[in-house]
Amino acid sequence: MTPGLSRNDMIEYGSDIVIYIDRRRRRLLRIAGGKIFSSDRGTLKLDDIVGLHYGDRVRTSLNINAWLLRPLLIDYLELGIKRVTQIIYPKDLGLILILLGVAPGLKVLEIGVGTGNTTIVLANFVKPNGHVYGYELRKEFLMIAQHNLEMTNLQQYVTLKLRDAREGIDESGIDAAVVDIPDPWNVLDPLHTALKHSAPVVFFLPTMNQIIRLFDALNKHRGFIDIRCYETLLREMELSPESIRPSTIMVGHTGYILYARKVFKDSDTKA
């Protein structure tokens, strides 16, 4: 079932579920007959869970508490989907959503789908009447992306294309775009054509060298303004009754978020 789609509170065969024992012991599963959840804190027969409700607590075979949770978007991102490529993390995706003003009904372009992590988030926020168009060169990634979309039941909001966006983009009137490829400077012309006038784009860039090169290319292109670049850092706190502190180890870098908005170029301005 899709994140947020199923409004049914009862757990059935075919339901997705998060079994939560503690922060380190949580798993996202689809309920099927005969299936067993097993951990070092005991096992659960999934057949026994059918008919219970999201939010219920059960006991494992070792008499340890386990809670039955409805999977949310964040659970699919953290526990559910297959990753092969480097993904854009929730800390960055959240800011990207706000910067792009992604909203139900929008047509969003994604250049560099990878295995579909970002695609799922975009689809979740443009549904039910918007659409995501995703370009990806590598067939093996696209197949995983398709699998991930089906698992989250978002495939009807997405069109995936095994295509090189640098050679042209079919769509036009795009409301917002996310570009996550190593050489975004090579896609500026087709991107500019595909975007609606005044529409925003976010480029995701792991290295400083890419910022410098893309910023230079955007300046020369002259069809993008309001160019900004951000970086986000996420710290998690470790919570225990007498000791609350930031975690010792954190993700120190994922990528830079470079934002810009399309305007008419001198050559195509009518004003």
Residue in 68, 142, 145, 191 binding a copy of itself, rule: CB under 8 A: 68
On whether 180 is known to bind a ligand per the annotation, the reply is yes
Are 153 and 2 a contacting pair, CB within 8 Å?
yes
> Binding of a copy of itself at residue 217 (CB under 8 A)?
no
Amino acid 202 reads V
Count CA atoms closer than 13 A to 28's CA, side-chain side.
19
> Binding of a copy of itself at residue 33 (CB under 8 A)?
no
Size of the site for a copy of itself (CB under 8 A): 92
76, two tokens: 């699919």
Classify each residue of 164-202 as buried b or exposed e, where b means 16 or more C-beta atoms within 10 Å of its C-beta. Answer: ebbeebebeebbbbbbbbeebbebbebbbebbeeebbbb
> Binding of a copy of itself at residue 246 (CB under 8 A)?
yes
Residue in 57, 82, 156, 183 binding a copy of itself, rule: CB under 8 A: 57
C-alpha–C-alpha distance, residues 90 and 84, integer Å = 17
> Binding of a copy of itself at residue 209 (CB under 8 A)?
yes
Q: Which is nearer to a copy of itself, 140 or 222 (CB)?
A: 222
> Binding of a copy of itself at residue 197 (CB under 8 A)?
yes
Q: Which is nearer to a copy of itself, 142 or 151 (CB)?
A: 151
Binding residues: 136, 180
Binding residues for S-adenosyl-L-methionine: 136, 180
